[in-house]
Each structure stands twice: as C-alpha cells, then as structure tokens.
A and B are shown apart, each in its own frame.
Chain A
Amino acid sequence: MYNNLVDCFEHTVHLFSNKMAILDANSKLNFKQLRARAMKLAMVISNNKKSINKPIAIFLPKSNDAVVAFIATLYTGNCYAPLDVKNPMSRIIKILNKLKPVAIITDTKHLDILKSYNLDIKIITCNALPQTPNIPYNFNYKNCIDLDPAYIMHTSGSTGIPKGVAISHRSIIDYINWAIDAFTISENEIIGSQAPFIFDNSTLDIYLMVFKGATLHIIPEQLFVFPAKLLEFLETHKVNFVFWVPSVLIYIANLKLLSIYKIPSLKKVLFAGEVMPTKHLNYWIGNLNKDILYANLYGPTEITVDCTYYIINRPFKDNQPLPIGKPCRNSDVFLLNNNDELCKTNEQGEICVRGSSLALCYWNDIKKTNAVFVQNPLNNSYPEKIYRTGDLAFVNTMGEIIFSGRKDNQIKHLGYRIELGEIEHSVLSTFESIIARAIYDAQNREIVLFYESKTEIPIRLFRQKLAKVLSGYMIPAKYYKVDTMPLSLSGKIDLAALQKQFISKKKSLEMAK
C-alpha cells in the first residue's frame, strides 16, 4: 500500500508507460510523457529548495497542462490549489490573499493579467520553462507523510471570502481505493471528464487515471453547452465511464437526446454534486443499454468528494427520491438531532462524518475549521474529530440515507455549491445604500435577488457589475425591488416572509401572461 500519491503514479507509469493517459482538445500524453513533463516542471518549482507542504496556485484552464501542474506540485512535496481562470480577478485576489501561495503556475496566455496585479508571488509559466539539467533529481515528495496536504479546493464562503479546503494524501488514497473496488475500475476505463478542476468531483476522474492507468478525456467545456455534440464526442471516443453533475444529465434528458444517441460504449454513469431528480434518471435508464451501472454519490468537499453512495438496484417512481445510500468504505456517516443524539429511523438530523476522509482544515482559518471539524459528541473518551456537514437527512426503514435539505443558506446550483451570503456580500459591496437578500427558486433553478432601494436598478447594471466580482454561476437571474425588507421580530430580514412575497409575485406574473 502506498502512502503518497506520487508513489501511486510511479507504479502506474511503470505498468502502463506507453498507454494513453490524458487527452484534451490540443494535445495528448501517454503515461511516460505525462511523467516527464511533470518532473521537468517540478524541478523548476522546487528550484533545489527543500521546502514542502506549501500551497502552489494553479491558474490554468482545464487542460493537460493543469494535470501536469498538479502532478508536478506533488513531486515537489507541496500541495496544489486550482483557481478558476474565468473568475473575476477580484475574487482570485481574495483567494490568493488568504491562501498565500509560494508560487503560481500559469501559461503565457494568462501571464499578463497576473503580472498586471503586481502580486508578490513567484510566477511560473508552464509552457515556457527554462532549461533543466538532464540529471537524476531528488524530489521532495519522499520527505512527505500521508497526512500532508495534496490539494486545496476553494468553496464559496458565507462571509464573501472563499474557504480553502485542504485534503491530505491519505484521504485521496482512501477515497480512490474505495471507488476502484466499489465500481471495479481497471485500466480499461475511458473517462469523459466534465467536472471543472476547481470542483472536487474532478478528483475521481484524475486519480482513477493516476492509480489504475485509466484514460482521461478532458471534454472541451463548450460541448456542455451543446449536448448533441457532447454525446457525439462520447460515441467517437468510446467513453465508458462518466462522473457528472446532475445538471448535465438533466439537460440531456430535457432535450430528449437519448433517442438519437445511444452511446453504445457507456458502462458506468455516476453523479453527485446536487440532487438528481428521479424522473430524469428514469429517462436515462429507459433509453440506454440496460446493463449500465448508475450510482448516486454524495459528499461535501470537506470529506474528500464522497462519503455515501447508492448503486441504483431497483426501480424508482418519478416522484420517489433517490437514496444517497450507505457510507463509503472506511467512512462512518451518522445523523445527529438538535440534542446531538443519534436519530431514530425516519427522524431528520444533520449528516455527520468521521473517517480518514476528513479534510485537514480550512487553509489559514483556524476559527472556521474549529466550527465544523469538532469533537464527536458521542465520544467522551478520546479526541476524535467529525465533520458537521450542515446537510439534513433521514434514514429510511431499509437503512438507506435520504437527503432532505440544508440547515443554512447554502445552495446547489448547476452542480456548484454556493453560499447565498457570498452573493449578498458582493451585492452590498458593489451597490452602496441598498439592502439585498438572495433566495433560490429550486423549481425554476434560478437565483433570485430581492433588494431594497429608493430607485429601480436596471438588470443590465446588476449583471454588468456583479460579473466583476462573482463567478458566472453565482450571478442572480432575477431581480426584484421591494420597498422595505420584511423583518423578523429579532430585527433580521425575514426570509420566510420574503419567500412568500416571491411566490405571490410569481403567481401574479403567471396570471398576467
């Protein structure tokens, strides 16, 4: 058993050196080439220094280059933090200020924008590397232990600053070895990768390649806009494994495309990131090969991608929710009620997780870390951390966990995890003298912003300004002006009253049609 991701990769390279590892729209690399490129970049990053466990920011589009940068970082004994090149720079700067990386890896295309901010951070351009000597090099990863961080993924933060979730080598090894056994993964897997690298679902795609020698196709992002082309891509490249967000599966189902594209190669369809509506899954099951495996996975970034799973093994009616199932191997998932006691069957409680999967921390944020990674209230005998997810669920009579909602204002939209608070903070910091509250219209899958202001603000202006501070998927679709925000007795904005106003507004708009 290996305890460092680089050892796992070296093992795979040894077995499959000439096999295809990754392909993007511009290039392809076999395992030997991937290793050579990662090592060359690692030498430049390390620059003969001995430091380990420092964050390296990766400012690259989703590409082979990004995967090279991830693996290179691991060779240096440091951890990588993927950033979204499509984010507004103000959000990137917020992340960098908190992360304090020792270097940023980018390409020549994105170099100028980074330079224009005069960051006091070393910038490495991965497609214009200096010459490195062709001699055996002692990589620093050999000094690492399995509890050292491997990556830092950023998730939306309710106070407006994204949180960096640090995940160790041990957590990834534990997770991937479970997935390999649960879904009988081999080098024959041809993976169609959808998840952006800033989203931890991509961990499964990348590390099934790294651990087992599977082939990873980085599907051009544009194809997810045009699903007919996407399905053509799967057929052309004989993709047999996908791990996608339900939004994409729903989009394809809504457009009824599976009567035209049968994707004969497809064998495994996994999904996670948000609730998968049973109706749309039934459309997939009804229209494709009967021997395809479908699995519903669940888990927040803080416990390394997934902590429960359910392999669909019986028919479900369109209106029946899919279980999120049972804990993954070596994870314990249990529900605690408001008194921190274990829930009984069918009693709703907060999903809590213990296991090697738990993140190390929120990077450079001890206060937020201690708020959710807490002592197990069921254990008074020795220190034992659990992660309180903030998600609600119950266990049915068959012992399956059924997801039932959130304790707070976090939402899932297009598969992305968003704190409505981050949207509200950005609105307040952009538009002075207005009060704003965001809600999620789950039925129409839209973020709606209510604002209190003397004058109406044009949607154009909202969208234009918010695009400079928020990720595209966080920008509200609808904007409603209210004369005064409804307040609760405690003087806070009354969300329930706002929801009511929204429903009556929707009804009157529908009537007017």
Chain B
Amino acid sequence: MKTINKSVLKHLSQIKPEFNFLHSSNFVAEGLLDSFDVIHLVTVLDTEYNISIDGIDIVPENFSTIASISKLLIKNGVLECT
C-alpha cells in the first residue's frame, strides 16, 4: 500500500476505531464518517501535511474512499514517501 494511503487509513481508524475502512466502498454513503469526523479529519490532515484543503474540495466525492482522500492530498501538493 502506498504511504499516503497508509497515513490516511491510520487517521481514519484513529477517528473511528469502531469501523473497518478497508471493508467499505463509500465512507459517506455507508455512514462511516459524520460531520464531526470530516471536520476533524480535515484539521488533522491540514496540520500533518501543512496544507490548507480548499472548501470547494470538501465534497462527498473526495471523502468516499481512501483513494479519493489520497488524491485530494496529492492535489494539495502532498508527495509520496513523506
């Protein structure tokens, strides 16, 4: 698994340890993430990677899977192997 994906998974499981994110195909539709979690996740990722995720990018499509969250990070300039 790529390092960014791993890091995303680590944060997700810390925010919601009761869910297995590897078994879900859509976190939002399946209710794994609620509003507090997304706000929390954005704050954690912003701090960890020293980025500022754009409000217009906080849409369900970008938070539905580990791959989509990773893609959002890469769009914000996060590199592999950080």
Contact = CB atoms under 8 A, between A and B. Distances in A.
Interface of A: 86, 221-222, 224-229, 251-252, 254-257, 260, 414, 459-461, 463-464, 467, 472-473, 477
Interface in B51-72: 54-56, 58-60, 63
Interface string B39-52: 11000000000000
A113 to B, nearest CB: 15
B55 A222 contact: no
Contacts of A467: 18
A179 to B, nearest CB: 27
Given A226-B60, A473-B36, A463 B55 contact: no
Contacts of B36: 414, 472-473
Contacts of A257: 55-56
B34 A472 contact: yes
Contacts of A225: 28, 33-35, 38-39, 58, 60
B40 A477 contact: yes
Contacts of A477: 40
Nearest to A464: B17
Contact of B59 (A226, A254, A459): A226
Given A222-B28, A251-B39, A472-B36, A228 B17 contact: no
Given A222-B28, A464-B17, 15 more contacts: A221-B34, A222-B35, A224-B35, A225-B35, A225-B38, A225-B39, A226-B63, A227-B58, A228-B58, A252-B55, A255-B54, A256-B55, A459-B17, A467-B18, A473-B36
A255 B54 CA distance: 6
Contacts, number: 58
Given A221-B35, A460-B13, A477-B40, A228 B18 contact: no
14 contacts: A221-B35, A222-B28, A225-B28, A226-B59, A228-B59, A229-B60, A251-B39, A255-B58, A459-B14, A460-B17, A463-B16, A463-B18, A464-B17, A477-B40
B53 to A, nearest CB: 8
A222 B55 CA distance: 15
A229 B28 CA distance: 14
A222 B56 contact: no
- What band does the interface of chain B fall in when counting residues whose beta carbon is under 8 Å from A? 20 to 34
B34 A255 contact: no
Given A226-B38, A229-B59, A464 B18 contact: yes
Nearest to B54: A255
Nearest to A444: B43
A227 B55 contact: yes
Contacts of B17: 459-461, 463-464
A260 B28 contact: no
A89 to B, nearest CB: 14
B20 to A, nearest CB: 12
Nearest to B16: A463
A228 B56 contact: yes
A82 to B, nearest CB: 18
A256 B55 CA distance: 7
A257 B14 CA distance: 29
Nearest to B42: A255
Nearest to A467: B18
B58 A226 contact: yes
A465 B56 CA distance: 34
Nearest to A253: B55
Interface hub of A224, A225, A472 (most chain B Cβ within 10 A): A225
Contacts of B58: 225-228, 255
Given A222-B28, A414-B36, A467-B18, A228 B13 contact: no
Nearest to A255: B55
Contacts of B40: 477
A280 to B, nearest CB: 13
A465 B30 CA distance: 21
Contacts of B34: 86, 221, 225, 472
